Amino acid sequence: MSVEAALPRPLPEGFLPPNCSYPEQDWPVLARQWFPLVCADDPLVKPRQVVLLNLRLAVYRMPDGIRIGRDMCPHRGLPLSSGRIEGEELVCAYHGLRFGSDGQCRLVPEKLAPKTADCFRITAFPAVERHGLIWTCLIPEDETWMPSISSEGENSPQDGVTSIFKLSIESLVDSQKDLALDELQRLLEELGFGSMPNALASSGA
Ligand code: FES
């Protein structure tokens, strides 16, 4: 099992996405769950925007693995998903700041002096591969932790998704489980998985 984990830089305490459609008390709880965002073998030739729990994320592939960051350049807040990958760097499309695989800015164009690279770092989230998918968590308990399950007895990636997700949300109250399942369903449809795995849909997890 390969694990690709960026060095996450967390969201600030008490953060809520702009125009959050979730109840204020539920969002931080949902943000502690793990959700699949892209297929692990997705070439991601260009950075891509994926929305998770109302938060815009930029998903991109660096030479050492897939990275997930907030889709907001730390310079002026414009979307990093409009940028490009050059070698081992993500280059913002707007003023050309260059970021390394750890999300730290490596180069600020001279025209932006006296700002230095130390001033800018992407808000980043873990990117963990399980069952052919890349999963993330917006408020991880631990930098690389996510439910760990045996792959024995599983017949398909959907079985794996079901097992991980059930473990992930088992401590939630029913209304939060429903919100989490709706979000999972939306993401799975975007991934081309079609409908929710039966075991999840029928059990209400
Ligand atoms: S907004 Fe990204 S470099 Fe300015």
- The sign one gets for the Cα dihedral 155, 158, 164, 170 is negative
Which ligand 1 atom is nearest residue 76's CA? 1
Q: Using alpha carbons, list the distances in angstroms from residue 173 to 26, 29, 164.
A: 10, 10, 17
- Separation of alpha carbons 164 and 176, rounded Å: 17
Q: What is the pLDDT of residue 198?
A: 62
Residue 124 C-alpha to ligand 1 middle, in angstroms?
16
Establish whether residue 93 lines the binding site of ligand 1, counting it when its CB lies within 6 angstroms of any ligand atom: no
CB 139 within 8 A of CB 109: no
Q: What is the pLDDT of residue 134?
A: 92
Identify the segments of the chain with pLDDT beneath 50.
1-6, 144
Question: Which token pair is 91?
Answer: 């280059």
Q: What is the pLDDT of residue 152?
A: 52
- Name the residue with the closest Cα to ligand 1, atom 1: 76
